Structures are given as C-alpha cells and as structure tokens.
Chains A and B, each alone.
Chain A
Amino acid sequence: MSILHEVEAATPEPVQNSATADRESRGQWWRFALIAIISIIMIIPVVITVILSLRPGLTSTTAGFTFENFKYVFTSTDTVKWLGNSLAVTIGTMVVSVIVAAPAGYVLSRGKSRAVSGYSLLLFVIQSLPVITAVIPLFVLFARIGLVDSLLGLAIVYVGASMSVATWMMAAYIDSIPITLEEAAWIDGASLFGGFRRVVLRNSLPGVMSTAIFTFLVSWNDYLVAVVFLRTQTKYTLPIGLQSFFQQNATDWGSVMAVAVVMMLPPVLVFACLNRFFSVGGVGGSLAGQ
C-alpha cells in the first residue's frame, strides 16, 4: 500500500492522475454501495412504520395504499385528543423553558462571581441524576396538590427536567455574543435588563431555537414521566396513547402505525427543516438520553 503511493508520487503527472482517479472512483462506488446498504437496513423500522400505516386495514380488501387508517384513528379513537395534549404540553414546556432559561443563561454567561460558578456546578450535578429518582418523590408531592393526572403537572416536570441543559445551551450561545454590544447600550442609558432584552435576546435567535428544539424533544418523546403521572385515557399524551393503543390493538397494525406516524412526524419534520440548529453538545446529547 505505502509503496504503491510512493510509486505513484514518483510517476509522471498525467499517468498518476488517471490511475488514481480510476481507483478513486471505483473505491467511491464501493463505499457508496456499502453505505447505501447500511442506510437501508438501518431505516427499515422507520420505513415499515410508514408503509404499514398506508396499507389497507384488516377488514378491507382494497389493494395498494390508502389513508383509511389515518381516517379511522382520527375519527374513531382518542388520537386527536392525545395529539392535542402532546402539543399543549410541548408548546407550554418550550415557551416557559426558553423564558426561564434565557435570563438564567445570561447570568451564567456574564456573571463572574463565585455564586454564579456555584450555580453552574449545581446544574451539572442535577443533570447527572437519574430521572427515576426525582419522579417518585414528585409523584408523592404532586398527588398532594392535585397535579397527578394533569397536563399542567406534566409540563412542570418537563420544564424542570430540561432546565439545566436549556440554561447551559443559552449560556453557551450568549458567550458568543460580544459584551461590547451591551456596554454600548449601557452607555446610552439602558439598564442591565434593558441590555439583556434589547441587545442580547435580539441576537440570540439561533440559541433560542436550539433550546426550544431541545425542550420540544424532551417533552414530545418522554415516556417515563408520562407513564407515571397520567392515569386517565383522555389525558394521555401521544407516547402513552400509542403504547396503550398498541396493547389493545396489537393485531391491527395499520391503525397502530398510523398513530405512530402521527407521533414521529413532528420530530422528523423539525429535524429535516431545522437540522442546522441541532448543535452537537446540546440537542444531540439530550435527545439520546430519552
């Protein structure tokens, strides 16, 4: 191998080019075939979900593809309700998380005192605690104040669960905004809060987007907290709804997969359209933690 390279390097220009290019393109097609096969194998479960959702149901005799499964789950099951619940919880979590995490991230980024670094450490410790440890006592606490089996209670847990990573993400983004911008605003008479609101927030749209996507995924995909807190079928979010629907209709794959497609479409669309905001350290890390 190594000798080959040296020989090539020593041979005259045109010959080397055509030989390397030839081998290069052959290697390219081999790699293309390899990655294509791997990709196809890897996405089989996703593709099969979509195909089954579009196949005619058990009772139907029609061939080809149809939307009747979707029609069925939307009209005769609680899917619409679950979708609404999931959307309400997710949007609520997203909005509150960003509103709470943005100012905290600002303090974390700009503050230099010992209290600030202590707060940063606290966030780190909390992030590594298993969710199950918090869920059990929260269940006891929420049962006392009537927040079990409530979407509000669920959203509160999600905001808390995503708070430390959301704050870090905002802090990391605000770090990249030069402080001179705020200093200029302060000299013009802006208060500290004014500088944050009018200068920093206005320039942190990508950071806000990443944080919002992260909290969206946390609350949209969560199973553990929802399965502990939700009891009534009409209050289910999509993960619990899909799971219970699957247990009750295990042979009716068309309908089950139609609900599954409803559930996976939002995250897939968000990823397809906004993948430039999927920063590795932030959204990346947290998503896999679900």
Chain B
Amino acid sequence: MTTTTSAVPQGSGQKPTVKQLRKGLNAKFTLLLLVLPSLFLLVLINLYPFIYAFFQSLHDGSLIATGPFVGLQNYTDVLTSPAFWKAAWFTLIFTIVGVFGSWLVGLGLALLLRTKIPGRGTFKVLLMLPWVVPIVVSSTAWNYLLATPDSPIPALLNAIGINSPLFLADPTWAKITVCVFKVWVSFPFMMLMTSAALASVDGVVYEAARMDGASNWQQFRLITLPIIARSTYISWILMTIFCVNDFPTIYLLTGGGPVDATTSLVVLSYRTVFQNFQTGPGVAIAFLMTITLVIVSVVLFRQIKKAANQ
C-alpha cells in the first residue's frame, strides 16, 4: 500500500518498530479516532449547552423562543431580587452544614471503626447504606418518618413529653431537617474518604507517641490530622460542589418550601425555568452559581497545595 515508514499499515508484512508506531502518523490518527467519540459527546452534551446557556442568559426568551437580546438585564434583575439572595443564603448554610456536618460524623465514625471492634466489617457495610440508597427512596422514607404531626418521629416525641416541632412545615425546622438529611446522605462518603486516608498511617507511629506521653487529643491533632489533611481538603472541595449543585436532596424532601425557606439556588433556577418559564433569569442564576463555585474551588485548591507543601 505505502512504503513510507510513518504510516505502516497493518498486515503489510513489514514489522514496525515501537518508535515508528508511536511517532507515526498512523498512530496519531488511531489516537485521534480513539478519543473522537468521547470528544463528540463532551462537546454535544457539555460544552455546547454551556455556551448556549450563556447565550440564553443574555436574552429575554422562553423554552421555545429565543426572544430579544437584553444584554446583562437578566443578571441585574436576578442580583437585585430578594428571592435570589434568600436562596443564596440558604445555599451557603446548606453547604457549610452539609460539608462540615458530614465530615465530622464521617471522621468520628472512621476513627471509631479503625479500632478493634467485634463485627467491624458489618458496621462498615451498614453505615454505607444511607449513601448507596437512591435519594428518591430515602427522601420518601424520611417523609414517612417526619412529614406530618402523626408521623412516627413527631408522635414518639410527643409521647415522651417533648412538644414535637413541625419538621417540614415550619420554615426554620424545614431548613434544619433538610441540612440533617444532607448530612445523613453524605457522611458515608466522608467516612470512606477518611478511612482510606487513615489506612495509610502506620500504627507504630501512635505506639511511639504514646510512649513519649502524648495524650489521645495530642495524637489526633499532631499525627492523625496532618496525615489526613490532603484527603480532607479534597473531600471538602468535592462535597462543596455536591452541596451547591444538589437538587434532589432538597427538592424531594420539601420542594423548596415552606414559603421558599429551603429554596437553594439550583431549586430556584429550576423553578424559574420550568415553573415560571423565565429561561433567561433561570439560566443567569445557574451561571452566577457556577462562577461562585469555581471561585470557592480555586480558594480551596490553594489550601490543598499549601497543605501538601507543609
């Protein structure tokens, strides 16, 4: 077929060397072919919509029509609306509680599960369940347990003499319940991340520290924390992204209510587009959220680098 060394066809009888294959046009072409399907999907499903979304955010359109160009009008509208800031505030609280709440619970359990306990393997599997079970299922179960004053948990509280709050109907309690639900869903992930980091610590180090008279707290602060710092920062970043982008955890439990008390930015964006049919402002909300998320991630990434350099 061809005699050039840079493009050795298969079955030409000529045995190509590694170098030829690696550097040859043929190899480059193959590599391109291998990556092409994935590149096509990325552009179609991820990149194109993102660019189109930005275009939408500059127009006063609907889901079916593009509408006239309005510049940054949608952004100023959104930024001056109280609903946006209310949702932003709740997203912040939800994220902070979600990240650190699940981290503390996950860390505590990971430390506990590291010690000698009968049936440790069973507990490890059981404690993963909140994370393995689909949110749609667990939110249904939580609804059963909490939703009305006659539900099992309020009934139990009333029975033992505690005046049960309306977990999902009172604005403040709904916020607390949604945050607790998020912690419940996410702590196994943190437990898994921390366990993996802790597994790399040699037990001899603690033995030596104890010999030197270090207290449990000192051992934790001076040995454990520095070792798990890197993985902790990574899990914080991931969990921040998960919390900010979270939709089902909130929407399935409260639908964003009562009186918008648990409306996060994603829920607000979803409702603006698919319930109020205002595409421009809805997409603008999603964009503002994305920008904030990228900034927060960058700040946290710097922290990781600092931790890694220590």
The interface of chain A, by Cβ under 8 A from chain B, is: 1-3, 5-6, 9, 24, 27-28, 31-32, 34-36, 38-39, 42-46, 48-49, 52, 99-101, 103-104, 106-108, 111, 119, 122-123, 126, 128-141, 143, 156-157, 159-161, 163-164, 167, 183, 186-187, 189, 191-194, 196, 220-221, 223-224, 228, 238-239, 242-243, 246, 253, 256-257, 260, 263-264, 267-268, 271-272, 275, 278, 280, 284-285, 287-290
Contacts and interface: CB of A to CB of B under 8 A. Distances in A.
Interface of B: 10, 15-18, 21, 26-27, 30-31, 33-35, 37-39, 41-42, 44-50, 52-53, 56, 63-64, 109, 112-113, 115-119, 123, 125-138, 140-145, 152, 184-186, 189, 192-193, 196, 210-211, 213-216, 238-239, 241-242, 244-245, 247-248, 251-252, 266, 269-270, 273-274, 279, 282-283, 286-287, 289-290, 293-294, 297
A163 to B, nearest CB: 5
Contacts of A278: 192
Given A9-B211, A28-B116, A164 B42 contact: yes
Q: Which 7 pairs show the lowest CB-CB distances between chains A and B?
A: A160-B45, A103-B34, A104-B38, A45-B141, A2-B213, A137-B49, A137-B52
B137 A49 contact: yes
Q: Which residue, of B137, B141, B293, has the highest number of chain A Cβ atoms within 10 A?
A: B137
Contact of A132 (B137, B140, B269): B269
A288 B239 contact: yes
Given A288-B189, A289-B241, 15 more contacts: A35-B123, A103-B34, A107-B31, A133-B283, A133-B287, A134-B50, A136-B283, A164-B46, A186-B16, A192-B21, A192-B27, A246-B140, A246-B143, A278-B192, A280-B193
Given A32-B117, A132-B247, A141-B49, A100 B241 contact: no
B215 A1 contact: yes
Contacts of B48: 137, 141
A31 B117 contact: yes
B45 A161 contact: yes
B136 A100 contact: no
A288 B113 contact: no
18 contacts: A46-B133, A49-B137, A99-B37, A106-B34, A111-B31, A128-B294, A134-B45, A134-B49, A161-B45, A164-B42, A187-B15, A191-B10, A192-B30, A223-B135, A223-B251, A271-B125, A280-B192, A288-B131
A257 B50 contact: no
Contact of A45 (B46, B131, B145, B293): B145
B286 A130 contact: yes
Contacts, number: 279
Contacts of B242: 288-289
Contacts of A106: 34
A289 B185 CA distance: 10
Contact of A43 (B30, B116, B129, B282): B129
